[in-house]
Amino acid sequence: MAGQPGTPDCRIAQRPDCQREPEGGTAIDSTAVVKLAADAAATVKPSYLAILDLRGLCTFTDHFLIASATSARQVRAIAERVEEQLSRAEVRMSHREGVGEAQWILLDYHDVVVHIFADQTREFYDLERLWADAPKEQLVG
């Protein structure tokens, strides 16, 4: 089944966190990671793109990046671009799911969770309403 450990659709990180530790020993913080992911997503021209700052509101992540697109092909392209960019920055993914259906792809980088939706699916689940207390930076849409 897609998205389950051990399947090609799911990569488990070798470390418990998602932060890159360059030679100097300092890690890229979650704000920098979510900005990198947002910049990558923006290159595919999503119909909607926003960052929710969840620090202090939940314990499992610092940020949500929420993107949506008009087609499954574009949803996949956004996910691929984000994965490529964060991989180049040596940010390790913990979990990925939803790639096959491409209605809601989730990329979990521990401190940053990327949600990429088909437009109608984003409207239906409305994560922004569920996390209404979180400061939001809307970048597109």
Q: What CATH number is given to the structural domain containing 107?
A: 3.30.460.10
- Domain total of the chain: 1
In-domain check, residue 87:
yes
Report the percentage of the chain scoring pLDDT > 70: 81
Q: In this structure, is residue 59 part of a structural domain?
A: yes
Per-residue pLDDT, averaged over 61-71, amounts to 97
- At 134, the amino acid letter reads A
pLDDT tens, position by position, 19-41: 433 333 336 899 999 999 999 99
Look at residues 28, 14, 39, 40 and name the one whose alpha carbon lies nearest to residue 92: 14
Structure tokens belonging to residue 52: 């929710």
Residue 62's domain comprises 41-133
Mean pLDDT to the nearest integer, 60-89: 97
Please report whether residue 96 resides in a domain. yes
Q: Is residue 32 part of a domain?
A: no
The end-to-end CA distance of the chain, in Å, is 34
pLDDT at 27: 65
* Residue 101 is assigned to a structural domain of this protein: yes
Taking every pair of Cα atoms in the chain, the longest distance, rounded to a whole number of angstroms, is: 44
Residue 35 lies in a domain: no
Average pLDDT, the chain: 84
Q: Is residue 84 part of a domain?
A: yes
Whether residue 71 is contained in a domain is answered as yes
d(CA 140, CA 1) in angstroms, rounded, equals: 33
> Hey, what are 40's tokens?
């990558």
- pTM of the full predicted structure? 0.81
